[in-house]
Amino acid sequence: MSLKVLEQFKNPELCKKLLDCLNKEIEKEIRFMEVCGTHTVAIFRSGLHSVLPEKVIHLSGPGCPVCVTHESEVNAFLDLAGKDGVIIATFGDLIKVPGKKGHCLKNAQADGARVEIIYSPFDALEIARKNPNDTVVFLGVGFETTAPAIAATVMMAKEQKIDNFKVLSFHKLVPPALDVLISDPETMIDGFLLPGHVSTVIGIHPYDFIGAKYGTPAVVTGFEPVDILQALLQMVRSMKEEHPKVINQYQRGVSEYGNPKAVEVMYQVFESSDALWRGIGLIPNSGLEFSDKYESFDAKKVFDLKIGECPSLPGCKCGDVLKGKMTPEKCPLFGKACTPASPVGPCMVSTEGSCAAYFKYKVD
Amino acid sequence: MSSDKVLLDYGSGGRASQRLISELFIKHFANPELERLNDAAAFNIDGKISMSTDSFTVDPIFFPGGDIGSLAVHGTVNDVAMLGAIPKYLTCAYIIEEGFPMADLEKVVISMSEAVKDAGVAIVTGDTKVVPKGAIDKIFINTTGVGQIVADPMPSGDRATVGDAVLISGTMGDHGLTVLGTRGGISLESNVMSDSAALNHLLVKLVQEIPDVHVFRDPTRGGLATTLNEITTASNVCCELEESSIPVKPEVVGGCSILGLDPLYLANEGKFLCILPQKYAEQALEIMRADKHGKDACQIGNITDANPGKVILVTPLGGRRLLNMLEGEQLPRIC
């Protein structure tokens, strides 16, 4: 899509009209959750947060892949970093996430661990090809958005017999987590802005249960101000229905059934499994484990890693923030013990974390 | 040179070093003071002196629009000139990794000599070290510059005053995105080029024609956002920016969008901020726009007393948000 077309979705006059409509049509307070970290940042960066009607209460959800990576998973990859013959390949977000005793990949790198920041899982495969005497472990963190590309990389590694490429699969699936959140009476969520990127892969129907089972409106949304405002307006209108259907606002990026080929690739390499989410705990069928056919690429098996519950960081309220029970500023550590320079929890580390967004963008 | 690669011998201080100095550095940097080959350079500068040093370790060393050699001149010349000074002399120290191709070294030296001529400065003393393979990444260059301050009063980061206009000489993020986009593993195909350039002639013209420029600053590492935060902290004022006024090339916007980066935090090597009383803003913009290095100059904001020490961005929607200082480096994100 050209930048010119994209510009239309930032158009201030159109935004003003949508804001006026929203102001007119909103009857009671609504607490909406934007599930995706990219939405969180978009809402702040565009200045939307400061112009939304007062009746619109904005909550951030568990849609930042770094933020939901469980402490035990962070500790597992930190344990791997620095092992002889291991090269860790990762997207940049994970490099500063603190694990036990505040240790992170950046510290590990300074201590001599081999850590490569990459932009695509195929780059990790290339590193493996160039370093045949080492094992390259790619940190497979992310949602349905990134999992197909990682699965395709694993398939390529198998086809090309690149045996020194492994993946630590800590993938998470979004719909099961939302089911847990709505079921929690403390969250009081009136509507969801659903992640557009995830739906480019899975389509909109995996979210049907939100309206059908709970009567909660849900809109799959793009990432520009016009997208978000239009989605909020659709959400307000949808609230009047008893069993609202999931709405696809992001039709330029998302088709009703997503990308079936990508889903097929993902489920050739992986199969769904229970997964630990930071701040939320174990959610059935919300993760992806290697299928038997590809288990030789599973870093957990190759390195015999044990992933299990471990103590949470003392004082850290990231869990409550992820569940929308608390805004970042209410956390006693926010801006004091926990800042981007010295983060306690992952919501302050990730560029898409809600605590980092509040700290970075909020004026007052 | 007898070898096509830089050998440890060339840093030994013996004949090989002398050959490298005379056949490469002196050949291209030729000037009477350097040719004396004394342990130090002797020169006259009257009045107040501006002095700055910087080490250049850019990766890759050759990039669209420049290379480490021209960058090492532009970076230091610009820093010296930001105090309202005419840069005069540079020192130049090379640290080279053993095995570095001699042809690439000559390319870097020629580029540096052209940048020096363009800026109207002279390299009057220098140093060369060769270190074992693996001890550094290819080549590092340090330059130190001195110049004569001609502005009175002198522009300084702590002089931004409520009521001042905030001007920028051109588009943001060109250099940073170019370097990141050509780094191994990314290969971002784009027409974007580094803006690396010596700004001293334009800066001197400004201070000579405008009675009182409060601040000059080049938004290099950390970009516009970090530089403005440094200024608002030092001056204890607030800077309010109109986001839609900040010039960013569409290809930079597109590249940043793909890589998950913010152009306002990307380095620039040929742009400067100018903060001065609003009454001089139009005059300054005219001078800037008449120069090739300031043709896209515009006013992007004002200095206020609203939130001292902070930079506020007013978005096209009329929303207000902080433009904070960069924490660490910008990193590509997961999705």
Residue A21 pLDDT exceeds 60: yes
Residue A1, pLDDT score: 58
Rounded to the nearest 10°, the torsion over CA B175, B301, B297, B115 is -40
Q: What mean pLDDT comes out for the span A40-56?
A: 92
Q: What mean pLDDT comes out for the span A41-53?
A: 92
Alpha carbon distance B90, B76 (integer Å): 8
Q: How many CB atoms lie within 10 A of CB B133?
A: 11
Residue A74 pLDDT exceeds 60: yes
Backbone dihedral region for residue B90 (phi beyond 0: left; psi -120 to 50: alpha; all else: beta): beta
Of chain A residues 64-93, which have a CB less than 8 A from chain B? 65-66, 91-93
Q: What mean pLDDT comes out for the span B234-258?
A: 94
Query: A97 near A74, Cβ under 8 Å?
Result: yes
Alpha carbon distance B65, B171 (integer Å): 15
pTM across the whole model: 0.88
By the CB < 8 Å criterion, does B32 face chain A?
no
Q: For tokens 């530089």, what's the residue?
A: B227
Residue B87 pLDDT exceeds 60: yes
* Closest Cβ–Cβ partner in B313, B319, B332 for A117: B332
* Closest Cβ–Cβ partner in A50, A92, A143 for B319: A50
Q: What mean pLDDT comes out for the span B80-97?
A: 98
Contacts of A174 (CB under 8 A, 6+ apart): A35, A63, A143, A144, A194, A195, A198
Alpha carbon distance B163, A45 (integer Å): 26
| Chain A CA closest to residue B310 | A363
Residue A347, phi then psi, degrees to nearest 5? -65, -20
Q: Do A93 and B331 touch (CB under 8 A)?
A: yes
The residue among A77, A81, A150, A89 whose CA lies nearest residue A117 is A89
**Average pLDDT score over chain A:** 92
Q: Do B327 and A15 touch (CB under 8 A)?
A: no
Which amino acid appears at position B18 of this protein? Q
| Interface A-B: count of C-beta contacts within 8 A | 92
Question: Smallest CA–CA separation between A140 and chain B, in Å?
Answer: 10
In terms of pLDDT, which residue wins out, A327 or B198? B198
Q: What percent of chain B has pLDDT over 70?
A: 96
Residue B223, pLDDT score: 96
By the CB < 8 Å criterion, does B321 face chain A?
yes
What's the complex ipTM?
0.81
Question: Taking each helix axis from N to C terminus, what angle separates A121-130 and A147-159, rounded to the nearest 10 degrees?
Answer: 30
